[in-house]
Structure formats: structure tokens, C-alpha cells
Amino acid sequence: MFNLENISVRELFQIEDEELFKKYLRFTDENDGFYIKPRGIFAKRKASPLVELTCGEVANIKLNLANPTFDNVYDCFEMVFKVKLNTYLSQDVVSYFYALNWIKENIKKLVEREKNAFGADPDPLLEMAGVKRLAAFGELNTLISIAQKYGKSPAEVENWKYNLVFALMLQDKVAGEVQHAYNELKYGSKGKA
């Protein structure tokens, strides 16, 4: 295939020739003609929809793909396809890239969904107060916020389904916007009481 052998995942990660390895990686580059379209099947297992994974699993997949190592990528396959290491390593490289591209594309969709749902006009006062410093805590901000609201620990919330956590955060955001609009209508734009 494209003058490359259809090797196993094990053989892929044993390649010592960096240029040859890069040729295989072209299958993951959306801007390359060799890109393999995503498929949610690997080792005869259907991918778990990412929104049905736990909030913690989705956060781990995001982190793992941002810093891809052998262990990190395998961890993603284990969560999404529920495969053991030997099964993972024995699969052919084409199936691997179909599945890897599926994971990457679906994470990209989730991130875009979050950005569209939670993106807002920056609040200059919050920015002056240093709100950007909270970005270092990533997903933990969400876990703490929901945990406080429902009297749970962040570790408990981390085990809730991603879709539930997303819906709770979106509801909280919309409720805050409605309350803000109500206050402006009731008290005027200056928020006088």
C-alpha cells in the first residue's frame, strides 16, 4: 500500500528508520493524500462513543493525544476499543490508522463542541483579575465546579459520563446568562440594586 507494507502495530513501533516511520505517519495527516478516513472499528470491536465515556476518560484521551507516546496512544485504544495490549499490537497498521484517525477526529469534534458551547466574549474584569491562571488546571476546573454544586468530590464527578458533565456545565452557563440578562432588565445595565 503506497509502497509500504501492511505491517502489524507491533512492527510499526519497532521501526528504527525514522524516515520510514514518518511515511507511515502520513496516514494520519489530513492534509496529505495518504490520509486514511476514520473508522470506528478496531480488532473487530466497535468504538465506544466518546460522549458515553466518563469525563475522566475523555480528559485523558485529550491529554494523551496532545502528548502522543506509545503508552498514551495505547491507553486511548484501551478506553475507546476495550482492547488488551497483545490484541492491540497484533492488529494490522491500516486498521490501526483507521481507528486512530477516528479517535482524533471525534476528540476534535468534542473540543469544537465545547468551544462553541462555552466560548464567550472575554470579561475584561475577569481577565484583569487573572482568570487565565486557572487554565493551568484544565478539566479540574469543571470537576470542582460541578462537585461543589452537587456536594460531591471532584473524583466522583470525574467518573460521571462525559455527556452528563457537559450538559450540566452548559445548563449552568445558560442559567448564568439568563440571570445576568434578568438582572440587567430589572436593575438596569449598571446593575444597581
Question: Looking at the DSSP assignment, which residues form a beta bridge with residue 45?
Answer: 42
Q: Are residues 49 and 132 in the same domain?
A: no
pLDDT band at 193 (very low <50, low <70, confident <90, very high): very low
Q: Are residues 110 and 125 in the same domain?
A: no
**Inter-axis angle of helices 162-187 and 55-66, nearest 10:** 100
192 located within any domain: no
Question: 21 by DSSP, 3-state: which?
Answer: helix
33 located within any domain: yes
8 secondary structure, DSSP code: B
Q: Are residues 74 and 13 in the same domain?
A: yes
Query: What share of the chain in percent tops pLDDT 90?
Result: 65
2 located within any domain: no
Domain boundary among 117, 132, 156: 117
35 secondary structure, DSSP code: P
76 located within any domain: yes
Average pLDDT, the chain: 90
91 secondary structure, DSSP code: S
| Rounded mean pLDDT, 2-29 | 90
Domain boundary among 117, 143, 165: 117
DSSP symbols for 10-77: HHHHT---HHHHHHHHGGG-TTSTTPPPP-SEETTEEPPPGGGSBHHHHHHHHHHHHS--HHHHHHHH
Count structural domains, the chain. Answer: 2
The three three-digit cell numbers of residue 81, written as one number: 476499543
Domain boundary among 117, 142, 167: 117
Q: pLDDT tens digits, residue range 152-189? A: 999 999 999 999 999 999 999 899 889 988 998 988 86
4 located within any domain: no
Q: Are residues 99 and 145 in the same domain?
A: no
Highest-confidence segment of 39-48, 112-121, 129-138: 39-48
Q: Are residues 76 and 146 in the same domain?
A: no
88 located within any domain: yes
Q: Are residues 160 and 130 in the same domain?
A: yes
Q: Are residues 22 and 111 in the same domain?
A: yes
Q: How many CA atoms lie within 13 A of 22 on its CB side?
A: 3
Q: Are residues 162 and 90 in the same domain?
A: no
Q: Are residues 107 and 134 in the same domain?
A: no
Query: pTM of the full predicted structure?
Result: 0.85
Provide the domain limits for residue 55. 9-117
Q: Are residues 103 and 52 in the same domain?
A: yes
